[in-house]
Amino acid sequence: MERCQMNQQGSSNTTAIDGIMKAIPGVLLFVSVAVFAWYITPKITALHPAIKALSISNFIVAILLGMLILNTVGVPEIFKAGLKFSTILTKTGIVVMGVKYSFESLIKTGSEALIIIAIFLFSSAIILMLLSRKLNMPPALGACLAAGLSVCGVSAAIAIAPAVRAKNEDMAYTIAVVLMFGLLALIVFPYIGTYFGLSANQFGAFAGVGIINSAQVLAAGAAFTDATGVNAAHIAGVYNIGRVMFLPIVVLMLAMMVATQDEEVKDHMAGVNKMQMIIDKFPVFVFGFIAVVLLNTFEFFTKPEVKQATVFMDWCFLLGFASIGLTTRLADIKAAGLSGLVLGFVVATIKAALALFVVLTFLN
């Protein structure tokens, strides 16, 4: 029996080592892209005052550079195993972001954020579901679009898919719409913020509500610095956390709406423990962020440590965004077709315009 256990342990160790070895080429690739983006961005902005005025961040350069590589020369299969760490890296960055907040400042920013997010998130999800019915879309596709365009993009679409029995085509359609609008917003939103003279607080809210995909919210926030020199990254991060906190409730709500149209989903939902579903879908990394905030509130970190943590956070995001760029295939965007892109763009644009109106009217 001992020999059997030793064999099993040896087998699992071998599997872990094989996994690490397979990931190394991809890790080296996205690290190289991130380092190059970090190195080249200051040189690009120094070329001309007009370029400097664009406030291009190395996060955006990393995403675009990764996309350029994938969609021109391509990324061979050997690199793909190592490109699956983007979510881990960005979530780690969000957890470490807690060093920028005390509990008091988080409550002040977070309570404001949760109110705005709840109004936009639930109203846009319900409107999208009703609109998809009017357009005679399959219920599962409508739910994927509603989750993706109202909560946090690709992650939300992936979360809702099993509950509504979504097909692969539904997922591809939704992801294409989310990525297309998100890429455009990533570039356009900072210019809008500058044009309207938004503060970092206003722009963080604008990006956190108006941009669909989580990674693009963080990248856009990092790309904007207001007239007083305050960067919007940490505000956008709080709004992003607020959105993903609502994800389990939105998934449950949309699944129940689909169940009224689809008998198969109705039978599936009848046997689902609703509270367990909410718990299973809750983003665990939020607890990590709150724990770091509490540690910072009690002055657990010194100022030099906070500075080091901020550098670590920036590199987590930079590496994560490089990996995201290397996995964003423009050909996938064609999957949505013209009608899908139009629907996604109309709804997302209206949502972004309303978000801009709210932050200009009610936030400082």
User: Which structure tokens are listed for 177?
Assistant: 């719409």
Q: What is the spatial distance between Cα 149 and Cα 155, in angstroms, rounded to a whole number? A: 11
* Local confidence band at 150 (pLDDT 50, 70, 90 cut-offs): confident
Burial 131-152 (b: 16+ CB within 10 A, else e): bbeeeebbbbbbbbbbbbbbbb
- pLDDT number for residue 12: 54
Q: How confident is the model at residue 147 (pLDDT cuts 50, 70, 90)?
A: confident
Give residue 268's pLDDT. Answer: 65
Average pLDDT over residues 236-259: 86
**pLDDT 10s digits, 112-139:** 788 888 888 898 888 888 888 887 878 8
pLDDT at 229 over 80: yes
| Least reliable range by pLDDT among 12-16, 88-92, 325-329 | 12-16
Tell me which residue of 86, 35, 81 sits closest to 325, measured CA to CA: 86
The DSSP symbol for 231 reads B
Three-state DSSP state, 44: helix
pLDDT value at residue 337: 59
The residue ranking higher by pLDDT, 265 or 310, is 310
Q: What is the mean pLDDT of the chain?
A: 83
Residue 187 φ/ψ, nearest 5 degrees: -85, -40
Q: 58 near 317, Cβ under 8 Å?
A: no
Task: Give the per-residue pLDDT at 153.
Answer: 78
Nearest CA-CA partner of 151 in 241, 261, 280, 275: 241
The owner of tokens 């970090």 is: 38
Angstrom distances, CA of residue 341 to CA of 20, 71, 134, 164, 279:
38, 20, 17, 22, 33
Once rounded to an integer, what is the mean pLDDT over residues 16-30? Answer: 87
132 or 13, greater pLDDT: 132
Half-sphere exposure at residue 224, Cβ-oriented, CA atoms within 13 angstroms:
37
H helix intervals, the chain = 2-45, 49-53, 58-72, 77-80, 86-96, 103-134, 139-147, 154-160, 168-195, 200-210, 214-222, 233-245, 247-259, 263-270, 274-281, 285-297, 303-325, 330-333, 337-362
Beta-bridged to residue 225, according to DSSP, are 231
| 357: confidence class by pLDDT, cuts 50, 70, 90 | very high
Please count the other Cβ atoms lying within 10 Å of the Cβ belonging to residue 88.
14
pLDDT band at 338 (very low <50, low <70, confident <90, very high): low
pLDDT at 146: 87
Is the pLDDT confidence value at 307 over 70? Answer: yes
**99 vs 10, more confident:** 99
Q: What does the pLDDT look like over 170-200, one tens digit per residue?
A: 777 787 778 778 888 888 998 899 999 999 9
The single-letter code of the amino acid at 63 is I
- The answer to whether 247 and 155 are in contact (CB under 8 A) is yes
Residue 11: pLDDT band with limits 50, 70, 90: low
**pLDDT for 8 beyond 60:** no
Average pLDDT over residues 160-173: 78
pLDDT band of 13, cuts 50, 70, 90:
low
Candidates 204, 215, 191; CA nearest to 67 is 215
Residue 248 has pLDDT above 60, yes or no: yes
What mean pLDDT is predicted for residues 83-103? 84
Structure tokens at 37: 């983006």
156 alpha carbon, distance to own chain's centre: 9
For helices 233-245 and 285-297, give the axis angle rounded to 10 degrees.
130
Whole-number Å distance between alpha carbons of 67 and 197: 30
Give yes or no for residue 316 having a pLDDT over 80. Answer: yes
Cα 214-220-221 angle, rounded to 5 deg: 90
CA distance 89 to 120: 28
Average pLDDT (300-329) is 89
How confident is the model at residue 141, as a pLDDT?
83
Are residues 79 and 29 in contact, defined by beta-carbon separation less than 8 angstroms? yes
pLDDT at residue 199, rounded to an integer: 93
pLDDT band at 343 (very low <50, low <70, confident <90, very high): confident
